[in-house]
Amino acid sequence: MSAGSPSPLADARLSRRLAARLLGGAGVVALTASRFPLSPGTASAAADPFVPSIQKENTTMSQATPTTGLTVALVHGAFADSSSWNGIIPLLQQAGVNVTAIPNELRGVASDSAYVASALNQIPGPVLLVGHSYGGVVITNAGSMASNVVGLVYVAGFATDEGETLGGLESGSKDSVLVSALLPRQYPTGNGAETATEFLIDPAKVQEAFAGDLSAADCAIIAATQRPISEICFAEPTKSPAWKTLPTWAIVATGDKAAGTDILRLTAERAGATTVEIDASHVVMVSQPQAVTDVIMTAIASVS
């Protein structure tokens, strides 16, 4: 979206119906991955809202060897928190990778990106920045604000362009069905009695619109622990896209009914990303942790 497009205020008026589009070039590699379990010794699914109830097995890690000192920084998306990476973190740690999950406040593109950039600038050494869903918008902006980011990985994430808002980008998706699943509510802004709008997913529609390849029990836990996202996140524009200057990878989930597979393909191609398609829902990092980890390990090998 160009600078001459509708103002953030106009986008905000549209965001209630566009908010659902939130969730969630180079040649595309088609990949159909079976479900992969967590590694032995990790917490049980019952204790973790973002770990699917699947049997543990032995898995084979990528042969990529990380550079000493490089850190993988993971940024979660909307309706989630850092526990959404709990299937990825142990796999990276077993491979000897330094990894940290940075909280995403979900209050607005500008403030969320500034917070993440601050955390990145306090990490010693180079950083590979990974973002899921709306976290993709955040890493797009934060990656240009931090001096140590050497690459980007979008996991069913939005690689927004300069001047583009998430609401404007997602208005054209034909694959997303999340719009009818969102429930608005109010939160205090801190300015007297003033309130603003944020969104949650209707608990009864989490599996249909967000996590179609997880069990009903896992979806019930996600519904109970989800974090709301502010309406502002759909209206604030991206400023300086980091993917224009950094090597970029993208995972497109072919069954993504939240972000919309069509939009993810569009933004990945536009960013010139090395793209891998995985047969999964929007929460691909939960249902297919090994496949996602393999892409991250490939990126590490490339930037090392």
Q: 210 to each of 61, 65, 185, how far by Cα in Å?
A: 27, 33, 19
Give bridge partners of residue 278 from the DSSP assignment.
Answer: 31, 253
Q: What are the tens digits of pLDDT across the range 269-298?
A: 999 999 999 999 999 999 999 999 999 999
The confidence score (pLDDT) of residue 20 equals 37
The confidence score (pLDDT) of residue 81 equals 97
Q: Which tokens sit at 239? A: 């400023």
- Residue 248, classified by CB atoms within 10 Å of its CB into exposed (0-12), middle (13-18) or buried (19+), is buried
The confidence score (pLDDT) of residue 40 equals 31
Q: Which tokens sit at 149? A: 């980011």
Q: Mind listing the domains of the chain with CATH numbers? A: 8-41+65-303 (3.40.50.1820)
Strands across the sheet with 195-201, in order?
182-188, 195-201, 229-230
Across the chain, which has 304 residues, the per-10-residue mean pLDDT values are 41 42 41 35 40 38 53 98 98 98 98 98 98 98 98 98 95 91 96 97 97 98 97 97 98 98 98 98 98 98 95
- E strand residue ranges, 226-282: 229-230, 248-253, 274-278
- CA pseudo-torsion sign 209, 215, 220, 226: negative
- CA pseudo-torsion sign 294, 281, 151, 100: negative
The confidence score (pLDDT) of residue 179 equals 84
